[in-house]
Every structure is written in structure tokens, then in C-alpha cells.
Amino acid sequence: MLSLSVNGQAYPVDVPDDMPLLWVLRDVIGLTGTKFGCGIAQCGACTVHLDGQAVRSCVLPVGSIGNRAITTIEAVGNTPSGQKIQQAWLDVDVVQCGYCQSGQIMSAAALLQRTPNPNDADIDAAMSGNICRCGTYVRIRAAIKQAATGKQEILQTLVSAPEGAKS
Amino acid sequence: MTRFLIIVVLVALLGMGAYFYLNRTDTAEGTAPPIAGAPSSADVLARGEYLTKAADCIACHTVPGTGSAFAGGVAFKLPFGTIYSPNITADEASGIGNWSDNDFVRAVREGIRNDGQHLYPAFPYTSYTQLSRSDVLAIKAYLFSLPKISQANKANDLSFPYNQRWAMGFWNAAFFKSQRFTPDPSQSQQWNSGKYLTIALGHCAECHTPRNFGFGLEHGNELAGEELQGWRAYNITSDPQHGIGAWSDSDIASYLTTGHADGRGSAAGPMAEAVENSLRFLNPADAAALATYLRTVPAREGKDPITIDATAAPTLASNNAAPGGDNANADNPGLKLFEGACASCHQWNGKGQQTSYASLLGTRGVNDVHGTNVTQILLHGAGPHALAPNIFMPEFGNAYSDTDIASLTNYVIGHFGNKQGNVTPDEVAQRRKQL
């Protein structure tokens, strides 16, 4: 019986050591915000944090985690960098279909955590392993910069009705 | 005229004499040094099973994934054609069920089948000739205790003159010596056991010793490394720079029995098969004995020696998540590929994130400027294998062009080995066809 620390909570799980963390998160614990994409660490959809570092959970044997803290998309909003990233994602309206976005947000939050003011090269290095079939890369880059600086990078989403409009 | 004929006859007689002298058989039964995993007190089938694993018979005589253990049919693509391994189950019609003990011993130690025909030295009788008769018969007893599988042998596809089996008699005269293992009394028992495991059972030299123009082993260059079937079998002499002289005992034991040693490398390709099928079953005392012998193999530089830079500057300048000091490389297509497909597991600092098997710093692959094994692993992937069922490297051969693989390999050699890689797309195209 393993004990995993997920989002600050301890989960005893009875699974084989070689089961990938993604399976444990989704099928055993029931946290389905983290997505399965390719299964071979090539698309980034399954990204979670292990002690704040972005890892691909689809190829991470659960037995190798030990007592390191796992953070998933469900709780990344509780970290300062995750909170900023999620707000910027909303303000810029990054998401199109959304399937890859849990992973995108986890990679971006880990980047902002270690590099508070990333330049384009930093963003390329951190985000290249996260693939988006809808091609939201331009908005992802803008949202990361906006989360870092607080300055608006591109057109923002309308979050409230314009003055005079009927509600 | 008469004088001329006499000379011809004399030369022919001398030639025949030399042929038979060089092909003489060592008639000794042979004695093996103690093998911890197969003590002489053990049951013959238990000994046979252990020795069969230590000799890695299954690797060549079983098509992976078929479950038809020892039924043969594995293809060996050689420069002169393709050889298929035969069925060595006890099936009378298609296997070796009718072979007597003497037939089997002669095939294993002399390379001659029960019908008197020569075997090709793709079968390592050149190494197994050192085995003791009792060990060979234990292997036979074990093979004969397994299910018989009726599977006809595939005909070899060799061009003339390589399809002439009798010609191997001349090859044997030149390159093969029938000879039983003789212990060296000046060395420890452990060393002698290790030598027997290395040169006879494990037949390590068949891949790791360079071959001469006639595909014979260069015995003066034992274990100095060789390239075959598109993979590089590394130098495993005691040379501290180019061999494994700097490895600790636990590095060697760990590599042999798990396929990985931290900071040294992870087995892939044919060596991963050797670990999976054979070496991981070695009793710890036998693995230690093997390492003891390897440590005494004279240091040799070998062909195209690899010099490891275990503190490659570009790697040390990087952290786990971002490259450092690679600004000059920013537009390098190799770097772009690495950051998209490789960095999430291998990391820029070469430590390997999900598993230590993914660590690259200090390994021979990334320090080989020819990038032989790196391109193979990129093209064909690695693992998963029985010891680490969830650890594997995906294959990129179908996703990336030859140019992509070449630039990625050269980037990896530059970043993790701090050397200029010289892999060309043409070489990648060649390696794509292998394995």
C-alpha cells in the first residue's frame, strides 16, 4: 500500500509500483482533470507537479514518487504562480477545445514559479513539450507574459457586459 | 614433368596436413571452475537451466514475442546474407530430439552438426568450445526437458560462396581453435569463475572484441569494443578512460543485473536483450566474479575510442528545466527537437527526471562522436524490459526524418558530451535499415 500526497491530502492507494501516476490519479483517486494524451511523454497533456516541477505523469511509475508532493490541475490555483496563470488564461481566453490545457497550465505555472519573468526563449524551453492541436500557442505565450508582468499583452476577454447593454 | 607432379602432390599433402592440424579437436572433457548459480551438487536440470540462461541461448533461438522458446527462426542479417537460427527443442522431426550427447557436444564445442556439416560462427561455438562436457550436457538435459515445438527450420539466404558450409572448415582452420577452458592456478577461484562466465558461457567477446578482415576475433584486442548490426558494443577492458576501468564494483554489478548504472549508462538494443535474457539471472556471486575478471582484462584503447566528459560544460550550465549557455544554439534544429520531445524526461542537466535510466550525463552514447547507439535508440526506441516494465524510450524513427535525427543526435552529443558530433543524414538512413 502506497501513500501519495496529492494536493496536500494523503491518499493510500493499493496499486502496483509500476502503474503510471496518471492512471492512479484518474482511475483510482478520481481526479480526472489531468488528461491522457499520447501515453509516451510526447504531448504534455498529463503534466502534473512533483515538488513544484512539471513531470509527465503518463510515464512516471507511481512507486518512484516516494513522499514528494503531487499537485494537479485541481489545486494548482492554490499556488501563487498557478493562481496568476489561471487568471491570465481566463483574461486572454487561451482555451479553444481545452483538452491540452490542464497540461499547458501546469507547465506554465512551473515555469513562472522558477522564472518569474520569462523571456521568449524561456517560454520555448518550458512549453515546447506541450502540444496544442488547436494552435493556441500565441495566446499561451501572451498569457504567460501577462501573468508575469500584470500588463495586458493582447486583446482581453469581455468579462462584464458593456455599459448600457441589457443584462 | 614428374618432378612438377611430385611438387604438386607434396604441396597438396602439406595443405591437407595443415588443414587437419589446424582443425584438430581438443579431446579433453574439460572442467569448469565453480559457478555459484550452478553448483555441481545441484540437480542436472537446475544446473542446465542456469547455464542455458548464462549462455543466453534463448536470445538467438527464440523469436521475441512468439512464446516458442528455443524453436529458432531468428534472422541474422549479415553482410553476405541472412542466417536463421535453428530449432533446438527436443522435437525429433524439426528440432534436435534425435541428437545423441556426442552430437550435441560436438555441435556446441566444435561447430559441427549431427550430419557432419559445419555450422556458421554466428553460433558462438568459438566461445562455447571452452565449456566443459558436463556443462554442455546439463544444457542439453534442460533443453530436452522443455516442450517439443514442431517448427521447421528456415533455409538460410546466403550468396555464393558463403552458402558453402564446407568452406567453414577453412575459416575454422584460420580463426578457430578447439580448446577447453584451463584454469589459471596463479589467479583466484573467483577470477577463474569470472573468466569462464565471460569468455565461455557469456560469450561477451563475440560482440565486444574487434573482428579482423575475415570476421575472426582479434584475440590480441580482447573486449576493446566493436560495431555490429548497427550497434556499438563498447570497450569493456580495464582502460580507465575508454573502457570500464573507472567503474566501481557496484557500477558493474548494477549494469549487468539491472541494465543501468548511475552516471555510467543504461543498456539498450542488443545489450538490453543480454541483460533481460541472461545477465539479470546471474547469481550475485557470479556477477561479482564476472566483474573481477573484467577488471583484469588489459587496458586497450580500441577503435575510435570514446573519451567521456562527465562534467560537460553545456550540461552543467543548465538546470533541470532550461538550457544554459546554449544561446549560440538557439536556432539549432537539434535544440528545438530536444526541447519539444526529449527535455521533459531527460532534462537539460542530463539527470533524467522520471527515472535514472533517462540520465545522459557521463554515458558513452552521448560521448561517441559517431552517435551510433544514440541514433539507434532514437530510431528504434528502448525498452520496456522485464526489469523495468514501465521504463521505456519511445521510438522516433517514423516521426523524424534522417536530417532531424542527425541534427538531434549531434545536438545531444554537443550538449551532454561537449563534443562536435559528426552524424550525417546518410548514416542515419543506413542505421534505419538495421535491427
Which residue ranges form the domains of chain B, and what is each CATH number? 27-175 (no CATH), 204-294 (no CATH), 313-432 (1.10.760.10)
Does the residue A122 lie in any domain? yes
Chain B CB contacts of A20 under 8 Å are: 390
Asked whether residue A97 falls in the same domain as residue A44, the answer is no
A147 φ, ψ (degrees, to nearest 5)? -65, -35
- With 0-12 / 13-18 / 19 or more C-beta atoms within 10 angstroms meaning exposed / middle / buried, residue A154 is middle
B247 φ, ψ (degrees, to nearest 5)? -75, 145
Tell which B residues from 378 to 417 touch A, by Cβ distance under 8 Å.
388-392, 394
Asked whether residue A57 falls in the same domain as residue A86, the answer is no
Chain B CB contacts of A18 under 8 Å are: 388-390
Does the residue A140 lie in any domain? yes
Which three cell numbers, joined as nine digits, stand for B55? 549462455
> What's the pLDDT score for residue A165?
66
In this complex, do A128 and B348 lie within 8 Å of one another by their Cβ atoms? no
> What's the pLDDT score for residue A167?
52
Chain A CB contacts of B327 under 8 Å are: 121
* Angle at alpha carbon of residue B288, lines to B286 and B291, rounded to 5°: 110
> What's the pLDDT score for residue A156?
86
Q: Tell me how far apart the alpha carbons of residues B257 and A89 are, in angstroms, rounded to a whole number.
A: 49
Closest Cα of chain B to A133: distance in Å?
14
Q: Tell me how far apart the alpha carbons of residues B386 and B93 are, in angstroms, rounded to a whole number.
A: 33
> What's the pLDDT score for residue A38?
93
> What's the pLDDT score for residue A50?
94
Does the residue A134 lie in any domain? yes
User: What value does the mean pLDDT of chain A take?
Assistant: 93
> What's the pLDDT score for residue A166?
61
Q: Which domain holds residue A21?
A: 2-71
Concatenated DSSP letters of B1-39: -HHHHHHHHHHHHHHHHHHHHHTPPP-----PPP-TTS-
> What's the pLDDT score for residue A162?
63
Chain B CB contacts of A110 under 8 Å are: 321
Residue B4 confidence class, pLDDT cut points 50, 70, 90: confident
Asked whether residue A6 falls in the same domain as residue A27, the answer is yes
**Tens of pLDDT along A60-79?**
989 889 999 999 999 999 99
Chain A CB contacts of B321 under 8 Å are: 53-54, 110-111, 114, 125-126
**Tens of pLDDT along B86-105?**
999 999 999 999 999 999 99
Q: Tell me how far apart the alpha carbons of residues A70 and B138 are, in angstroms, rounded to a whole number.
A: 52
- Reply yes or no on whether the pLDDT at A41 is more than 80: yes
Which has the minimum average pLDDT: A106-115, B53-62, B132-141, B331-340? B331-340
Count CB neighbours of A81 within 10 A: 20
Asked whether residue A103 falls in the same domain as residue A62, the answer is no
Does the residue A167 lie in any domain? no
Sign of the CA dihedral with A51 first, then A53, A54, and A56 last: negative
Count CB neighbours of B369 within 10 A: 17
Q: Tell me how far apart the alpha carbons of residues B433 and B426 are, in angstroms, rounded to a whole number.
A: 11
More confident residue, B215 or A142: A142
Residue B389 confidence class, pLDDT cut points 50, 70, 90: confident
Closest Cα of chain B to A117: distance in Å?
14
Chain B CB contacts of A42 under 8 Å are: 341, 394
Which three cell numbers, joined as nine digits, stand for B246? 573507472
> What's the pLDDT score for residue B178?
94
Asked whether residue A101 falls in the same domain as residue A134, the answer is yes
- Reply yes or no on whether the pLDDT at A158 is more than 90: no
> What's the pLDDT score for residue A127?
95
Chain A CB contacts of B331 under 8 Å are: none
Residue that finishes a domain, picked among A71, A95, A128:
A71
- ipTM for the predicted complex comes to 0.82
Does the residue A165 lie in any domain? no
Asked whether residue A87 falls in the same domain as residue A132, the answer is yes
B340 in contact with A at a CB cutoff of 8 Å?
A: yes
Asked whether residue A90 falls in the same domain as residue A115, the answer is yes
Asked whether residue A67 falls in the same domain as residue A85, the answer is no
Q: Tell me how far apart the alpha carbons of residues A7 and B242 are, in angstroms, rounded to a whole number.
A: 47
In this complex, do A59 and B389 lie within 8 Å of one another by their Cβ atoms? no
Render the burial of B318-349: b for 16+ CB within 10 Å, e for the rest.
Answer: beebbbeebeebeebebbbbbbbbbbbbbbbb
More confident residue, B410 or B319: B410
Percent of chain B with pLDDT over 90: 77
Provide the total of helices (H) and of strands (E) in chain B, helices listed first: 18, 7
Mutate which: A21, A53, A59, A70, vs B, most B CBs within 10 A? A59
**Tens of pLDDT along B276-327?**
999 999 999 999 999 999 999 999 999 999 999 999 999 999 988 888 866 6
* Least CB–CB distance from A126: residue in B321, B345, B389: B321
Residue B177 confidence class, pLDDT cut points 50, 70, 90: very high
Asked whether residue A67 falls in the same domain as residue A12, the answer is yes
Q: Tell me how far apart the alpha carbons of residues B359 and B263 are, in angstroms, rounded to a whole number.
A: 7
CB-CB contact of B282 with B257 (8 Å): yes
Q: Tell me how far apart the alpha carbons of residues B427 and B435 are, in angstroms, rounded to a whole number.
A: 14
> What's the pLDDT score for residue B413?
96
Residue that finishes a domain, picked among A46, A71, A96:
A71
Q: Tell me how far apart the alpha carbons of residues B74 and B84 are, in angstroms, rounded to a whole number.
A: 5
Q: Tell me how far apart the alpha carbons of residues B200 and B202 are, in angstroms, rounded to a whole number.
A: 6
Asked whether residue A107 falls in the same domain as residue A52, the answer is no
Mean pLDDT over B325-345 rounds to 83
Asked whether residue A52 falls in the same domain as residue A82, the answer is no
B414 φ, ψ (degrees, to nearest 5)? -70, -45
- Reply yes or no on whether the pLDDT at A91 is more than 70: yes
Mutate which: B329, B351, B390, B396, vs A, most A CBs within 10 A? B390
Q: What residues pair up with B265 in beta bridges, in sequence order?
A: B261
* Least CB–CB distance from A129: residue in B322, B340, B391: B340
**Tens of pLDDT along B137-168?**
999 999 999 999 999 999 999 988 889 999 99
Does the residue A159 lie in any domain? no
- Interface A–B counts its CB contacts (< 8 A) at 62
Mutate which: A15, A21, A40, vs B, most B CBs within 10 A? A40
More confident residue, A153 or B181: B181
Which three cell numbers, joined as nine digits, stand for B227? 560495431
> What's the pLDDT score for residue B293?
96
Count: domains in chain A: 2
In this complex, do A124 and B353 lie within 8 Å of one another by their Cβ atoms? no
Percent of chain B with pLDDT over 70: 98
Closest Cα of chain A to B322: distance in Å?
6
Residue A161 confidence class, pLDDT cut points 50, 70, 90: low
Mean pLDDT over B10-14 rounds to 85
Does the residue A28 lie in any domain? yes
Asked whether residue A30 falls in the same domain as residue A60, the answer is yes
> What's the pLDDT score for residue A160?
61
Does the residue A14 lie in any domain? yes
The CATH number given to whatever domain includes residue A66 is 3.10.20.30
Q: What residues pair up with B72 in beta bridges, in sequence order?
A: B62
